[in-house]
Amino acid sequence: MLSCWILRKLRVSCCTIFPEGLNKLSKKIVRELNLDLNLCRDDIPEVFLVVDASNSIQLGREYEGVKRVYVIDHHMPGDLKERAIKSYIDKNATSNTQLIIKALSELNLRLEEKTLATLGLTGIIFDSKRFQLLDVDMLDAVKQLILWGGSYEKALELTTIMSINEDFSFRIAKFKAMQRMKFSKACKELIVVITKIGSFESRIAKTLIDLGADVAVVIGHHENELRLSIRVSEKALKNGIDAFALAKYISEKVGGIGGGHRAVAMVHIKSQRVTEGYVDEIFDVISTSLPGKVARLCTIYRGRHRGNERVKG
């Protein structure tokens, strides 16, 4: 929505597409801030400005046939970068919002709608895990949004809504995911968990990390697609385990396209129809092969680390 506002200020018409739709919490935030989403209707735009996505498989059928693509993203670059006429990608940025605010500053534009400034603050607070992840550009963006009239108090309230409002179906999904999960050890002290669920894959993966898993892979099966959410703990990161690298490994193993960050990544696998047997097949392949991959990455990292220590000594 922020990027659409910029385009309209530059006298470029703009509408918004959410390929996977808005979840219940996002809809609640839209209602709380009384935002006009200005959704695209029947006509698909000739030009796409893709925000917060690195691979074309994330964009749905609306993307098919689009020839002119621009990208603003903070994930590891995927195939969209290769297709883009121009891209603005910073994989080290904590949130996509800070990249948009930086673009506003470079265009000498001031965000005049206070509700959008509050929305921007909400996105940054959520992406940074309430400022557990920090970088200078992000703090500059927060300062600018507050100066433009964004309500930090309202943004905190909205992120609290996002964290405590679990609907009944998600609570059930957590128990189902735990019932179906397989777990193993890697490098003696890392716990690798793989499970499958009908939806909520990203939130389930986060829940498993919060419960003590070091690597969590959750297979979410939808009508014509599998979405694999991958998360790794701080301990895993310190042992050389990279979620983006695991996404790449899984996509090479079972198909699909992977993308994301060091700590969080996704794999999307398109299918004509997702059957229970197909999900089980993917689940078995990953649960059999992934722990060994994690162990190899960990062993290589520890070996290099010990070698560096000997050199220093």
Instruction: Please determine, for residue 308, whether its predicted confidence score (pLDDT) is greater than 70.
Output: no
Query: Are 200 and 179 a contacting pair, CB within 8 Å?
Result: no
Q: Which residue has the tokens 């801030």?
A: 33
pLDDT score at 132? 82
pLDDT grade for 307, boundaries at 50, 70 and 90? low
Return mean pLDDT, the chain.
87
Among 82-96, 109-123, 154-168, the least confident range: 154-168
pLDDT for position 312: 53
Cβ(137)–Cβ(102) below 8 Å: yes
What's the pLDDT at 117? Answer: 95
Residue partners of 131: CB distance under 8 A and separation at least 6: 125
For the chain, what are the domain ranges?
A: 2-164, 169-312
Using one digit for the tens of pLDDT, what is the confidence trace for 52-87? Answer: 888 877 776 667 667 788 999 988 888 888 889 999
State yes or no: pLDDT of 269 exceeds 80.
yes
Q: Please give the span between the terminal C-alpha atoms of the chain, in angstroms, as a whole number.
A: 54
Q: Is the C-alpha dihedral spanning 6, 71, 54, 91 positive or negative?
A: negative
Side-chain half-sphere CA neighbours of 229 within 13 A: 19
Cβ contact 215:191 at 8 Å:
yes
Point out which residues pair with 126 in neighbouring strands. Answer: none
Q: Are 2-164 and 169-312 the same fold in CATH?
A: no
Percentage of the chain surpassing pLDDT 70?
Answer: 93
- Residues 21 and 59 sit within 8 Å (Cβ to Cβ): no
pTM beyond 0.75, yes or no? no
As a CATH number, domain 2-164 is: 3.90.1640.10
Residue-level pLDDT at 153: 95
Quote the CA–CA distance of 280 and 272 in Å, as a whole number. 16
Q: What is the enclosing helix (H) or strand (E) of 89?
A: strand 86-89
* Cα–Cα distance, 160 to 154 (Å, whole number): 10
Look at the alpha carbons of 5, 8, 12, 15 in this order and tell me if their dihedral is positive or negative: positive
Higher pLDDT, 165 or 74: 74
The CATH code for residues 169-312 is 3.10.310.40
pLDDT tops 90 at residue 304: no
**Tens digits of per-residue pLDDT, 209-249?**
999 999 999 999 987 889 999 999 999 999 999 999 999 99
| Beta carbons within 10 angstroms of residue 24's beta carbon | 12
As a residue count, the chain comes to 313
Residue 287 scores a pLDDT above 70: yes
Output the pLDDT for position 311.
Answer: 45
